[in-house]
Every structure is written in C-alpha cells, then in structure tokens.
C-alpha cells in the first residue's frame, strides 16, 4: 500500500490568488537602506582615515627631506666659505698657477690715476 501523503491532488479552489506581501517589500527596502547607509558611513570613515594617514606619511617624508636639504645647504655654505678664503686662493695661485705677488711698480694705486 502506498503512502496516502504522497498523492498530489489538484487545488479545487479556483478563486485562490497569490498576492505579493507589501510589508515584506517595505521591510526589505528598509533593511537595504540601513545596510547601504552603514556601509557608506564605514566606507567614508575608512577613506578619511586612510587619507589622514597618507597625508601624515607625506608630511614626515617632507620634513625628513627638509632636514636633509638644510644639512646639505650648511655643508655647501661651509665649503664655499672655505674655497673663497683669501689665504686658500693665494696658496692655489702660487702652487698651481705659479703666480707671484706683484712687484711694487706693477701696482696701480687709485690716487695715481689722472
């Protein structure tokens, strides 16, 4: 004998109409609105936080570069001062170019000009 529950009978009620549940659609729309709002808020917060972190790293990098440039500028100023010192220029002129101090008759004084 077969199981009595396994038999399918056609529905005898021809007036049965399936309607969409509007409350369910409203609840779904509300849930989607809340999820999208929260997701957008979290996404905005994360973006702002990442931009602040990235900007902080850029500031640190620029400060390091400024420190390095300042140090390099000091070194170059010291080197320029050393290279422009009269005693060093005289020593190089005598040593490398074999120059000698001018003789007294080669010197032209300002007062002697007509």
Residues 40-98: tens digit of each pLDDT = 999 999 999 999 999 999 999 999 999 999 999 999 999 999 999 999 999 899 999 99
Task: List helix spans (H) across the chain.
Answer: 22-83, 86-95
For 78-90, b where at least 16 C-beta lie within 10 A, e where not — what string?
eeeeeeeeeeeee
Tokens of residue 58, six digits:
């850029």
pLDDT of 113 above 70? no
pLDDT score recorded for residue 67: 97
């Amino acid at each position: 004998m077969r199981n009595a529950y396994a038999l399918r009978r056609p529905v005898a009620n021809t007036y049965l109409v399936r309607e969409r549940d509007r409350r369910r659609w409203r609840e779904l729309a509300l849930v989607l609105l809340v999820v999208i709002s929260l997701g957008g808020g979290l996404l905005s917060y994360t973006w702002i936080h990442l931009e602040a972190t990235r900007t902080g790293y850029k500031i640190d990098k620029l400060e390091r570069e400024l420190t390095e440039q300042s140090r390099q500028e000091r070194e170059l100023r010291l080197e320029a001062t050393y290279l422009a010192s009269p005693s060093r220029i005289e020593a190089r002129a005598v040593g490398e170019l074999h120059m000698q101090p001018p003789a007294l008759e080669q010197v032209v004084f300002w007062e002697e000009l007509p």
